Structure formats: structure tokens, C-alpha cells
Structure 1
């Protein structure tokens, strides 16, 4: 078997250790199924945000289907759970000096919104999936009343988005020379529109939550 996986930008220096863990023989069991043995003979570790580029540039057989992305200068803003990774590539090669990690992610947003709701609406006890729905629809029901929290969400999201945009603008010298900026990750749907409002050549990739892993799979079909 061949494995393609990724590491956050700030941990990419550990790729050798991760490769060692994957290479070789493994024996696994899932739930009540029989034990299975397999051998990993090849392991490629790439920067996590690179997966989003590959998901757009390649088809499911690993062939290039988007030459503009494959041949261009591309930036990636990957908004994860705990960090936001910034990556720049040229002709599918990483530009390491234009790569960085920000200690800010989707869970920071969720935590602040949860804290606000707990303070203002103490009897509102939302599970994680319920809170996610509230953030998406920007309202909730409280003792029969419909409470809108769009302004609260904007007040929390705006400074975080501004931080990401400021970091990316500085790292990429305003981003003017980039052909496209891809926005990916689980937090793309939260911060994405704010990022798009600043970078006119940015867009949110399809299925942004799983874009990186989709790119890993497509890349694996090339070898």
C-alpha cells in the first residue's frame, strides 16, 4: 500500500517521524470484523493545506484537470479547528518562505460564541451540533422567543478574519501576484466570506472540510 497524509505547517518538520510510523507491516481490526494485515511500502507526507490545491488541480485518477491551478501561483488559507495554515505554491511546488501558521481556528470561534450564550442565556444548554446549527442559521429559540445573534457572530468573526487577512497580506505581499487564493478547512464556511471580501481572487473550495484529505487521495493515484 501507498499512503499520502499531511501535517500542519508548524509541524511539517516532523514528517520523517510520521513516515517511519506508517512504513512497514501493520495489523488492524475494525469493530467486530476480522483482523487484517497489510504493508505500507511508500508514504508521502505533504503540508496539510497542499491537499486543497491537489483536490482542485487533480481528478480522482490523479490526472491534472485544472491547469490554471497546477501551473499557477496559488495561495491557500486553511482554517482548521485550532490553527489556520497559510501556504503558497508555484506550479505545484511549495514556497516555504511564504508559508505560516496562525494560532487561531474554528474552535476559538465556537468557544467565544458558547461563552456569550452561556452569559446572556444561562438556561440555554446546546450540544455541539446544536450550537453549530445556531451559528449557521444565526438565530435560536429561547423560551418560545426567536433570538437573532447575527450581530454577535459578526462581532466575534470580524476580528479573527481581520487577523487572518492581515497575516496573509503580509506573508504574500498583499497577494497581488497570486493567481488564486483557495479557502479551505472546517472553518472556511465561518471566515470564508470575510476573506473573500478582502481578496477578490479568493474562493471557497468545494467541500472545504474534507478538501485536504480529498487532495491526498487524488495525489495517491499518481503512484
Structure 2
């Protein structure tokens, strides 16, 4: 997978005239990750990129040319998607079938260049949402799928992508991360190298998924040792935002500024770059401790051969987690594990 950080440099779609295009989305509470097959110097290449999951009801911004870019309408309501709006996305199961999510997904498809094109979408759900009493919750999954068939329009007048209903597949997140590891380099024989229980801890924006899996002829999930809890990157950001508000005596800090402080350790305020690395570290430690308590509660005394950390939280907390969980596995790009797994699942 080729990860692109500058969205102005996204490669063109492979085979532009194809009737239906495969698009993969790990759509979370903090960031959406998008994957598609792009044309890189004549080679069909899986492209991955991310954008902030930040949306607010109403038309919050207007551009100088009044184009309405980033604003989406549905059923008489407008939604603004921008990293500079106060995020009103609900942090519960209802997010997965909300109009907020619909606007965010159409925004991602638009960024990738799929305006006016038909797409076969693959998306994810936390494992605690995907399963109910050990079996796939078909009613909930169908509700999530049906919500994306609402008639969204773009305020700038551009066509939006058409999500083909019977081609929209949904996968549990931590299982996708597992596939990304055991089928790395497209080598299906890697399944044979996994002996014993494999725990995947997928630390997302608002939920941490823990799944204990045993590979074989098919993937077996131990549901007694699997589940989801509301711990994730947003906890880190909420804590950091509170620290910043207290230190600088300011109430409204845009999500983009909190994210910048988290990734750089610098908070720009009143034309000054302020070192806040100590506040960042304290925010990371607080969430890491909550996360470790959850892991210990669910699988603490269970004999595991492998534990893998994936998701955006794994990227931020990898130092703290590796200090406690010796021999833990992480890929080079843990926040894109689910995306890679979705693409692999489509090819199986």
C-alpha cells in the first residue's frame, strides 16, 4: 500500500472507465482511512489516505467563491465536514448509521476522485457492534448499509459517488487487522505460521476492539475474550484539550489545533509556538493506563502466543505498550491495518 499524506497529490483512479470501483474505508470516530486502486506510473497500486472525522450540523463555513465545498445536504439538513469545526459526531453505536457518517463517507469518496462514479464499498465496524451473542448482528449491519442509500447531495453542485447497495460489504475491524498481518505480502500461506491464540488490540478513535482469534481452515473468534470499549484516540485528545484550555485560559480550540499539538508537541497561540510536550505525554500516559486495565480485565490471565496492536492509537501509544507487553506485534503503519485487511478480504 502506498500511503499519501498530501491529498493534493493523490494518484488517479486505476481504469477510470471501469463500471464499478472497489473502495475501502476504515471509518472511525477520529479519522477516516480510505483505500482505492490507483495508477502509479502505470502500475495498479493500493492507495491509502486519511482525513479527520469532524462534522457539524449546518452550513458552518462559506468559501470566498461560495462553492459550498465540504457541505453535504440530505433530507433538508446540511452537514459541514472540516477539521476546523466543533465535532458533533455522536460517540455511540448510532454513529454508524447517522447522517454525520454519510456526509463523512461521501466527503472521502469525493476527495479520492469518485464523484459521479459507482463504487463497491467495503467498510468496518467495531467487533462489539458487529456481533451480537456470538453471531453477526444482521439487523444492525443492514441498518448501517441502508443509511448510506440516503439521497445526499453536495452543496457545491458536484456529483457524488453512487454506493451500489448489494456490493457494500462490512467487516469487523480487528479481524481486518489480523488479516493484514497474517496475509502480509499477499502470502496466504502465512496462516500456517500462526500457532496458538492471537490477540488483536485495535485502538481506534473512540473504541478499542479486543479479539482473540485462532487461525485454521477458517478464522475462529473466541467471543468470551473479545469485545469493544469506549477507549481510544479521542480520549487522548479530550485530555490534551482540557490541559491546553487550563494552561492557556482559552475555551474554543479547533480539533485541528489539538491534533497538531498532539503530533508535534507544539501549540500555537497568540503568535507564539509553545512547547506542550509535557502535556502530550501526560495525556498519552492516562489513556495508556486505562487501555492496559481493559486488556488485563479481558484477557489478563489467558495464555496468548501473540498480541498485536493496531489502529491510530497503536501508533501514538506504541512505546508505552511495548514496554509493558514484551514481544507485542505492530506493523509499520498500524493505523492503516484495517484498510489493508479490507482489501485482502475482498481478494479472498
Indicate the TM-score class for this superposition, using the shorter chain for normalisation.
0.7 to 0.9
User: 1:94 offset after TM fit, Å?
Assistant: 1.1
Whether 2:306 is the aligned partner of 1:183: answer no
Match of 2:282 among 152, 155, 162: 155
Aligned pair in 2 of structure 1 residues 65, 122: CA closer, same or farther (>3 Å)? farther
2:63 aligned partner: none
Please list the CA deviations of residues 124-149 of structure 1 after superposition, one character each: whole Å capped at 9, or x if unmatched: 97532332222122233555665332
Please list the CA deviations of residues 27-59 of structure 1 after superposition, one character each: whole Å capped at 9, or x if unmatched: 98996458858462684x442211111111124
Count of aligned pairs between the two proteins: 217
SS at 2:205 equivalent: coil
Aligned pair in 2 of structure 1 residues 108, 66: CA closer, same or farther (>3 Å)? same
Gap runs ≥5 in structure 2: 1-19, 21-119
Contact 1:59/1:65, CA 8 A, preserved across alignment = no
Match of 2:207 among 83, 87, 92: 83
Correspondence 1:16-95 to 2 at 5 A:
16-20=138-142, 22=145, 32-33=158-159, 38=164, 40=166, 43=169, 45-59=170-184, 63-64=187-188, 66-67=190-191, 70-91=194-215, 92-95=219-222
Contact 2:308/2:329, CA 8 A, preserved across alignment = yes
Contact 1:28/1:35, CA 8 A, preserved across alignment = no
Distance in 2, Cα, partners of 1:58 & 1:28: 37
Match of 1:192 among 318, 328, 344: 318
Distance in 1, Cα, partners of 2:248 & 2:163: 52
Distance in 2, Cα, partners of 1:147 & 1:187: 24
2:101 aligned partner: none
Whether 2:129 is the aligned partner of 1:11: answer yes
SS at 1:203 equivalent: coil
Contact 1:27/1:37, CA 8 A, preserved across alignment = no
2:292 aligned partner: 165
SS at 1:187 equivalent: helix
User: 1:85 offset after TM fit, Å?
Assistant: 1.2
The two structures have a TM-score, normalised by structure 2, of 0.53
SS at 1:200 equivalent: coil
Contact 1:73/1:178, CA 8 A, preserved across alignment = yes
Distance in 2, Cα, partners of 1:6 & 1:123: 36
Gap runs ≥5 in structure 1: none
User: 1:117 offset after TM fit, Å?
Assistant: 0.8
Contact 1:52/1:205, CA 8 A, preserved across alignment = no
Aligned pair in 2 of structure 1 residues 4, 150: CA closer, same or farther (>3 Å)? same
RMSD: 3.4
Match of 1:127 among 232, 251, 254: 254
